[in-house]
Amino acid sequence: MRSYPTAAPGVFPSRRHDGRDRRPRGYAVLLIVLILTATPAPAAEPTLRFGIAADTPPLAFSDDGVLRGLEIDLARALCQDLGMEMRLRALPRPRLVEALRGGRIDVFLGTLPPDELQVLRLAASEPVMETGQMALIRTDDLPTFARAVDLITTHRRVGYERGSAGARFVQANLTQAERVPLADAAVGVAALRRGDIDVFVHDATTVWAVAAAAEETQLIGLFRPLTDERLAWFVRDQDQPLLAAIDGVISDWRANGRLATLINRWLPIQVRVGD
């Protein structure tokens, strides 16, 4: 009688005596894993992390937990044109600069004085739009602030958002006013309605959005610009390739009309300063 060698402990012969495969099921699984790992995975899209202060409608605000506004639309369009994935991180406005410098975000939209950029080691893109600071008051107080000088020389209570361009303007120019720092635009508008303050200084977009609402009768904007500012994207100084790419997109948007379309969706009347 012919004999067959037996398998050593822990070793599986490739075939049974009857010709059927005796290799364990895990063998096939191992082959599949090896094939899959040998196939290069498609490269993931690079991510662009935006810092968003979600308390300044119509630029950015939370609608039932969803971030909406002009700033969100601009970020989405920018990522589409750059071929990047958009990631939004909601932060208080005073923390945006710190988050950018610390590398927790890559870019944010805002206004900063040119003389601060070098100190902060940040760089600004081409402007997205012209803006500035404006004053919001109660309609009944309009005669009190009939002239530009009436605001500058007021002794009344003037509110502003901490850490904002409005804060810098009030601190530097309204030296006789009772200055009232507030958490954000929503808190400032509410304080003005209640009579806790007499003036609220904030971005022109905020003042326009409140005063131009069809149902608004209590508050009115003083549409004389107090400052001349440019809304732009800010990146770290060392991120020059990103800055150049953003500038290229903005230039294309201006040429093909897309920038105006994006802005007009949220600001049918564009706020301009100068003249």
**Residue 212, pLDDT score:** 79
**CATH code of the region 47-130+229-266:** 3.40.190.10
The string of pLDDT tens digits covering residues 76-101 is: 999 999 999 999 999 988 899 999 99
**Residue 269, pLDDT score:** 55
Token pair recorded at residue 155? 């002794």
Helix (H, G, I), strand (E, B) or coil at 29: helix
**Residue 274, pLDDT score:** 43
Least confident window among 46-55, 114-123, 238-247, 262-271: 262-271
For range 1-17, the mean pLDDT: 42
Q: For residue 93, which amino acid is it?
A: R
**Residue 37, pLDDT score:** 52
Cβ contact 157:194 at 8 Å:
no
Domains of the chain, residue spans: 47-130+229-266, 133-222
Q: Would the pLDDT of 185 be above 60? A: yes
- Residue of higher predicted confidence among 237 and 205: 237
**Residue 65, pLDDT score:** 87
Token pair recorded at residue 106? 């890559």
Q: How wide is the angle at C-alpha 123 spanned by C-alphas 80 and 265, nearest 5°?
A: 40
Query: Distance between CA atoms of 259 and 95, rounded to whole angstroms?
Result: 27
Confidence label for 35 from pLDDT (cuts 50, 70 and 90): very low
Percent of the chain with pLDDT over 90: 63
Closest Cα partner for 211 from 269, 125, 129, 259?
Answer: 269
The string of pLDDT tens digits covering residues 99-141 is: 999 999 999 999 988 889 999 999 999 999 988 999 999 999 9
Confidence label for 201 from pLDDT (cuts 50, 70 and 90): very high
Query: Distance between CA atoms of 53 and 41, rounded to whole angstroms?
Result: 36
**Residue 94, pLDDT score:** 83
**Residue 11, pLDDT score:** 38
**Dihedral sign computed on CA atoms, order 46, 114, 72, 88:** positive
For range 45-74, the mean pLDDT: 92
Statement: 133-222 belongs to CATH 3.40.190.10: yes
Helices (H), 144-203: 148-152, 165-173, 185-194
Domains 47-130+229-266 and 133-222 alike in fold: yes
**Residue 26, pLDDT score:** 52
**Residue 57, pLDDT score:** 83
Q: Is the pTM of this model over 0.75?
A: no
Closest Cα partner for 73 from 259, 215, 226, 224?
Answer: 259
Note the Cα 131 to chain centre separation in Å: 16
On average, the pLDDT of the chain sits at 85
Confidence label for 19 from pLDDT (cuts 50, 70 and 90): low
Confidence label for 7 from pLDDT (cuts 50, 70 and 90): very low
Cβ contact 106:50 at 8 Å:
yes
Alpha-carbon separation of residue 119 from 40, 97, 113, 142 (angstroms): 44, 12, 11, 40
